[in-house]
């Protein structure tokens, strides 16, 4: 099986489709499988299109979607946590997601309950599906996760949801005999942590946004909001 692994799409549907096309992903090929390491939503303007595309592929058995921290924002919202939603609107680009899913019918000042009602009417299955997404996927010598895998636990598989979706793999010890593939941590901010202008950095040296291979880890978040690109890692397992 050939796995096409990407992460942190953040509402950039056109970028996703272009990246998969460039990588040679063919959804009609039974030997191709798409792995998305979380963060479908927020920041970009096409979260609805990303969701509809990935939901279909997942239901057809052509894609596996791993839960990311930005995906939990939608879960919290659909469960009625409006305080958290307001925080994510102010800090994490969640308003872009709400406007996308409601086709910009509402304004940014409308009551959050109106957004919730529209989304639930259009996608009554969304909450159950999001809550069913796995926290990690283990295939052979690879572990796929959004945030990180904590090897200090007696059994890393029993870590909390928070640990899987929020931790930063680059800060964790490697797991013997395994390669951890993760998103969440923007690769250029690992290579150049003190850089202030990442748009400028992308123009100067886009290779700094490529996947980072380090100590039994592969980190693939390409900082799509800046690069308008996604990394697609191809693995034959």
- pLDDT per residue over 78-103, tens digit each? 999 999 999 999 999 999 999 999 98
pLDDT of residue 110: 79
Decide if pLDDT at 109 tops 90. Answer: no
- pLDDT per residue over 119-165, tens digit each? 999 999 999 999 999 999 999 999 999 999 999 999 999 999 999 99
Which residue blocks in the chain are alpha helix, DSSP H? Answer: 13-23, 47-59, 69-78, 82-91, 94-101, 112-122, 126-132, 161-166, 187-191, 198-204, 224-227
Domains assigned to the chain: 2-236 (3.60.21.10)
Strand ordering across the sheet containing 136-139: 136-139, 142-145, 179-182, 217-219, 212-214
């Amino acid at each position: 099986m050939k796995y096409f692994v990407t992460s942190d799409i953040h509402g950039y549907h056109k970028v996703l489709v272009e990246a998969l096309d460039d990588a040679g992903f063919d959804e009609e090929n039974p030997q191709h499988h798409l792995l998305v390491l979380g963060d479908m939503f927020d920041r970009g303007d096409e979260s609805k299109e990303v969701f509809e595309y990935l939901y279909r592929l997942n239901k057809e058995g052509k894609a596996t979607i791993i839960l990311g921290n930005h995906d939990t924002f939608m879960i919290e919202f659909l469960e009625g946590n409006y305080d958290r939603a307001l925080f994510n609107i102010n800090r994490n680009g969640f308003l872009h997601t709400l406007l996308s899913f409601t086709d910009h019918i509402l304004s940014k000042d409308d009551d959050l309950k109106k957004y919730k009602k529209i989304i639930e009417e259009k996608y009554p299955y969304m909450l159950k599906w999001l809550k069913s997404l796995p926290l990690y996927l283990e295939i052979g010598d690879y572990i796929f996760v959004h945030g990180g895998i904590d090897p200090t636990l007696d059994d890393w598989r029993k870590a909390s949801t928070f640990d899987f979706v929020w931790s930063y793999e680059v800060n964790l010890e490697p797991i013997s005999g395994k390669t951890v593939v993760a998103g969440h941590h923007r690769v250029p901010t690992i290579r150049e942590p003190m850089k202030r202008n990442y748009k400028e950095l992308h123009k100067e040296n886009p290779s700094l946004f490529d996947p980072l291979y380090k100590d039994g880890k592969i980190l693939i978040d390409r900082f799509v909001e800046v690069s308008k690109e996604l990394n697609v890692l191809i693995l034959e397992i």
